[in-house]
A and B are shown apart, each in its own frame.
Chain A
């Protein structure tokens, strides 16, 4: 028997555990290959598209690397009795390397070949999809790139080699490392405290007024780590307490289940956290995409209320020009504003001064209540996106602050008593920061600072979505002068384009995440089955019936599926909260919709794997019977 034959025997013997794993790896290879095909496509050289597919590829490779490393580790650690025996028979580091390289060579070869073959078959379909979601003028021609083949094979070859190296290091190590979660054994009491602090922190973060979304993003990994870690500590503590309770002593199935969970869960913690993260990523991506797709128009109109906006004009010249172009395009003007403004500076930032009468007129047009401004006082209107929370609040009074404004060569003092981020103008550098003055003050300033006088014009036309041609013509004419602001038409197309691409890719990634989750749980369940007959025989000796054994097993599997699902539920709250702050539209329905779909899929995986588990178990029990016979 050669090493190659031995490795082949091993792969063949473990094919059931490896099928799901190979399938996930193959799908990952296919996705990478498809992304690379697009990246190397001669007809698609736009930087935006290249960046988009590079980012997707990067995410894909990072995720796949983690998945392959964890699966390898799990697969090989489950064979520890085999390694122990081989070590006893005198198997050294070089021999371990040899057998691992052969085994992983087979796995890598199958995955890479099947993945690239799948990619080649899917390329025409993928090209059609890419052309559609990227709004390309014509469908991408099918182009098979050898560079993509070489890069895919090279990348996955390296990933498999890296995973093999990690496993080898563990196998040749003299003593196995601690089995504890993250190799630390934390007392149960500490786990409970950590868990409660994390749960409290979650509540505070979600409902405190002062937090910023980026703070959450930065802290989220640590939070998750501690919440999970503490959560398992809490579970163990509660388990230990429950074991002593008399009511539980009257329920033998549950009483037998608890110690088992206390023993297994800390070992499964990393696996379950990864599974929860993967299914959460699927929910999160789905939610963001559906939200952006559905709300693209509303988002754009909120940020750009005017179809065409001209800021900083020194005279009335643009007015007739814009209206002539709009008429030529067959667009009717529904609303129009023109108002005076003054240029000013404060602490290095360019401000636009407008009168309270004009500002209140704009507020009324948008359906907001007017803000009274007294002489000598001002309202600071800051740019949109600083915090959507304030956008919802509109305007808030603040402690008066004395501002010294530089207007031309002179200065002007103003007490800022209120802040607002209600959007009354389109996104434009000149209208990001406004200062609203009392009408009388503005009149005085207007008289005094003649050189700083400018005008703002805005038009709302109908139908606004068809104004792209007119906007483009005006844009070309005035681009150099910096007069024309952004319009909702372009932004809408951009949001749609981005979200469609993300939906397209997230669909593929979601499939990958689900396959990977199912693979990891399949490993876990199948390996559990190998130890079951021995355990059941023991339980049988104590008088536990076969039916009770099945009930215990069923609850174990249910919990294995429920814990990541519950964790995903917590994540979903965070996703909802995060989106709520990021996007000024209602997010709960979309997020819940994505979660419910996910729950359904999760339940299907549970049903499928439970069926498989029963089958494996019966097969194993039959084997046991044969052995005993």
Chain B
């Protein structure tokens, strides 16, 4: 469905300024319904990669194909239309519009596509009920908890049944309970919409929900770990890679993995 070839992104380098290679010849392919995790230390180029895959930024070189279309050659307007139809976004800081309630925020992709208001309401209410969000549904973001806001953001990302959801550290601002709720919600929504998810995360437990996890360093793919088998085994393998990459001492007992 989505295929990236030799993606490179270089920042700076103009007018004698030092340049920085954030993404370095990256290859990637994502299939429908797949959940892919991206892990790596801070500054490894995860967010830059996500922005390029989401067509928010253009690569310095390389190709990005989606269902047979080269995305880097599209105009700004065409890329906007592409995002509207095929992509959903979840951000670490929620990015909900303060002027709208949680419920109204989830309608945004459908408003942009000029969907029937009855469809918007029905679809968002069904998804909210599935995620247990019906209580704080009519609150404004400033009055909602972090967990509620992130679940609303997840609904917004999925409401138009996109082919691919890009999530940038979605559990970064949540406590463990809210994180678990969000990841379960993502799983539910993924099954309902058959959307692929690409999730950047620092949390190995969150990453263990994925079908495979890509580890990147200095903008390049270092290794890839596939699920295949029990979730605990998968998590153990992820932790091994994290440790090998210089990760901090991990409390395996606390995670119930000892």
A-side residues, CB < 8 A to B, are 1-3, 6, 9-10, 12-14, 81-82, 84-93, 95, 172, 174, 623, 626-627
A2 with B117, Cβ < 8 A, contacts A90-B112, A626-B143 known: yes
Chain A contacts of B85 at CB under 8 A? Answer: 90
Q: Within the complex, which residue of B80, B143, B145 is in contact with A92, where a contact is CB–CB below 8 Å?
A: B80
Nearest-neighbor residue (CB-CB) of A620 within chain B: B142
**A88 near B81 (CB under 8 angstroms)?**
no
Given known pairs A87-B56, A89-B109, A91-B84, the reply for A1 and B120 (CB within 8 Å) is: yes
Write out the residue numbers on chain A whose beta carbons fall within 8 Å of the beta carbon of B117: 1-2
Question: Interface residues of B: mostly helix, strand, loop or mixed?
Answer: helix
From known contacts A6-B100, A9-B104, A172-B76, infer whether A89 and B142 are also in contact, taking CB-CB under 8 Å: no
A330 smallest CB distance to B (angstroms): 76
CB contacts under 8 Å to A, within B12-41, are: none
Interface presence of B6 (CB below 8 A): no
A622 closest partner in B (C-beta): B142
- Chain B residues whose CB sits within 8 angstroms of the CB of A95 once the complex forms: 112
| A623–B142 alpha-carbon span in the complex (Å) | 7
Name which of B91-99, B199-207, B231-239, B248-256 contacts chain A: B91-99
> Complex formed: what's the CA distance from A82 to B108 in Å?
12
List 29 A-B pairs, Cβ < 8 Å: A1-B104, A1-B111, A6-B100, A6-B104, A9-B99, A9-B104, A13-B98, A13-B99, A85-B91, A86-B112, A87-B56, A88-B56, A88-B83, A89-B108, A89-B109, A89-B112, A89-B156, A90-B82, A90-B83, A90-B85, A90-B87, A90-B109, A91-B80, A91-B84, A92-B80, A95-B112, A172-B77, A626-B143, A627-B146
Please state if B111 and A87 are interface contacts (CB–CB under 8 Å): no
Q: Which of B109-142 contact A (CB under 8 A)?
A: 109, 111-112, 117, 120, 142
Q: Give the complex CA separation of A89 and B157 in angstroms.
A: 8
State the 6 A-B residue pairs at the shortest beta-carbon distance, nearest first.
A90-B84, A13-B99, A90-B83, A92-B80, A85-B95, A9-B99
Interface size class of B (residues with CB under 8 A): 20 to 34
Minimum C-beta distance from A523 to chain B (A):
16
> Does B111 contact A3, Cβ atoms closer than 8 Å?
yes
**CA A88 – CA B54 in complex, angstroms?**
8
B215 interface residue per 8 A CB criterion: no
Give a binary string over B68-84; 1 marks a CB under 8 Å from any A CB, 0 the rest. 00000000110011111
Q: How far is the CA of A14 from the CA of B99 in the complex (A)?
A: 8
A2: which B residues are within 8 A, CB to CB? Answer: 117
A1 to B104, CA, bound (A): 7
Q: Are A91 and B112 in contact (CB under 8 A)?
A: yes
Bound state CA distance, A623 and B111, in angstroms?
28
CA A153 to CA B81, docked complex, whole Å: 36
- Kindly name the residue among A1, A2, A90, A174 whose own CB sees the greatest number of chain B CB atoms within 10 A: A90
Distance in Å: Cβ of B90 to nearest Cβ of chain A: 10
Which listed residue (A3, A12, A81, A623) contacts B99, Cβ 8 A?
Answer: A12
Min CB–CB distance A96 → chain B (angstroms): 9
Q: Are B80 and A6 in contact (CB under 8 A)?
A: no
For A172, the closest partner residue in chain B by CB is B76
Known: A90-B112, A627-B142. 15 other contacts (CB 8 A): A1-B117, A3-B111, A6-B100, A6-B111, A9-B99, A9-B104, A87-B56, A89-B84, A89-B156, A90-B85, A91-B80, A91-B84, A91-B112, A92-B84, A95-B112
What residues of B have a CB within 8 angstroms of the CB of A6 in the complex? 100, 104, 111
Contacts known (A1-B111, A88-B54); A626 close to B142, Cβ less than 8 A:
yes
Q: How far is the CB of A91 from chain B (nearest CB, A)?
A: 6
CB distance from A310 to the nearest CB of B (A): 74
State A465–B145 Cα separation when bound (angstroms): 79
Q: Which of A13, A88, A174 contacts B89 (CB 8 A)?
A: A88
Tell me the complex Cα distance, A174–B72, Å: 13
Among the interface residues B100, B107, B143, B156, which one has the most CB atoms of the partner chain A within 10 A? Answer: B100
Among residues of B, the one whose C-beta sits closest to the C-beta of A94 is B77
Alpha-carbon distance A89/B91, docked complex (angstroms) = 12
Task: Write out the residue numbers on chain A whose beta carbons fall within 8 Å of the beta carbon of B84.
Answer: 89-92
Minimum distance in angstroms from A8 CB to a CB of chain B: 9
Contacts of B104 in A (CB 8 A): 1, 6, 9
Query: What chain B residues lie within 8 Å of A90 (beta carbons)?
Result: 80-85, 87, 109, 112
